[in-house]
Structure 1
Amino acid sequence: MTTLHSAIETGLSAELPGVDVRSYPDLEGRVSLPLVLVELAELEDGTQPGTGELALVARLEARVVVDPNQRDAELLVRQLACRLAAACHFKTWGLPIGVARVQSIAPDGFKADLDGYLVWCVTWTHEVHVGDIEEFPMPDGATSIVVTVTPEPGAQESVDTGANHEL
């Protein structure tokens, strides 16, 4: 997934000169506008290839963010959204994945971090095949989770002593 995000960022930056393209940025600091924010929104079951690999349809979203005080901002955000969709159309970003299929280009008001800006969202999909669990390393700092279950008052408690631990 890291390779996919990097390839998309690189490809869109080349296609949209003068536009800052980022994946999952920290929006607390300063950002330059116009801005395109790319993120993986969803993974769904894809067409299984019968090779043992897992096929997934990755739905990606890219938000075009424009300063509403800029001259002709309403038109500019729409033009950039269309340019972004054209830049994604049928691309594979040089990776062994299915071609991009643009699904929608629409206004977006779902990111609280972007309130006060003009935002349009371009959504597209790629089919990707995942074959090796090592492609998804555990994040740095991963920890264990301990879950404790306490029965409700009055509930009968049952404890499995685990007499047979043979593997």
Structure 2
Amino acid sequence: MSLHLDDYHDAVKSHVAAELNWLESVDDYPEQFGILKTPCAFFGVVDWDRSEDQRMTGELSVVLSCQLLIAFGQSGKVSSRAVRNAAMAASLKIDEQRFGLGVTTAQFVSAEPWAFDPDLDQYVVWAVNFRHEIEVGEDQFDLVPDFLPTDVNVAQAPKNGADHLDDYERLENE
């Protein structure tokens, strides 16, 4: 099943919002930050690599490197233990998930404190990192809608190919 990254983003964010319903919001990583209503989460695909396993359907299999940032305010009411527990809960809800999509399962990689954006200095942020293999592009077998073969013929090498059409046997549907 081929995916568009927008569909993947929406599926992951919906899953996280449903499973971690104590979050005030789950959104894409913003271009600019305002005041955040915490706790909240930001999801993004950081990068991707070509998968070693290609399906030969015309699609490209890629392994996405994904990151879920969980932010809590530093109001003095939130302990570092609570933030770590929230990151652990997110890790458990992400690992082995398909997010409602017809794809392989996501694999949790790591979780760690995150302090790489000065706009988030007033928040306690943890990053939950995971990888997920998906297919992108057009599946060549999906190009013909509702394609269903009407005949299946079988031959055994070396008596196969255009020069041996009479050597093929038709399989009957039982």
What TM-score do the two structures reach when normalised by structure 1? Answer: 0.74
5 Å matches for 1:29-68? 29-46=34-51, 47-68=53-74
AA paired with 1:11?
Answer: H
- In 2, distance between residues paired with 1:55 and 1:100? 14
Match of 2:110 in 1: 104
Deviation of 1:17 (Å): 1.1
Output one character per residue of 1:87-121: Cα deviation in whole Å (capped at 9) or x when no partner. Answer: 10111111122211000011111122211211110
Output one character per residue of 1:23-64: Cα deviation in whole Å (capped at 9) or x when no partner. Answer: 123543332101111011011111211222101001100111
Greater displacement, 19-28 / 39-48: 19-28
Any stretches of 5+ residues in structure 2 without a counterpart?
Answer: 140-174
Greater displacement, 94-103 / 109-118: 109-118
Match of 1:84 in 2: 90
2:98–2:106 CA contact under 8 A, matched in 1: yes
SS of corresponding position for 2:135: strand
Output one character per residue of 1:102-154: Cα deviation in whole Å (capped at 9) or x when no partner. Answer: 00011111122211211110000110111239xxxxxxxxxxxxxxxxxxxxx
SS of corresponding position for 2:103: coil
1:33 to 1:25, Cα distance in 2 relative to 1, 3 A: same
SS of corresponding position for 2:111: strand
SS of corresponding position for 1:13: helix
1:58–1:128 CA contact under 8 A, matched in 2: yes
1:89–1:100 CA contact under 8 A, matched in 2: yes
AA paired with 2:18?
Answer: A
Match of 1:21 in 2: 26
- In 2, distance between residues paired with 1:26 and 1:41? 14
AA paired with 2:129?
Answer: T
1:11 aligns with 2:18: no
- In 2, distance between residues paired with 1:33 and 1:70? 13
1:68–1:74 CA contact under 8 A, matched in 2: no
Count the aligned residue pairs: 133
Match of 2:152 in 1: none
Any stretches of 5+ residues in structure 1 without a counterpart?
Answer: 134-167
What TM-score do the two structures reach when normalised by structure 2? Answer: 0.71
1:67–1:73 CA contact under 8 A, matched in 2: no
AA paired with 2:82?
Answer: L
- In 2, distance between residues paired with 1:120 and 1:94? 25
Which consecutive aligned stretches of 4+ in structure 1 deviate over 6 angstroms post-superposition? none
Question: Kindly, what percent of the aligned residue pairs are identical?
Answer: 27
- In 1, distance between residues paired with 2:26 and 2:54? 32
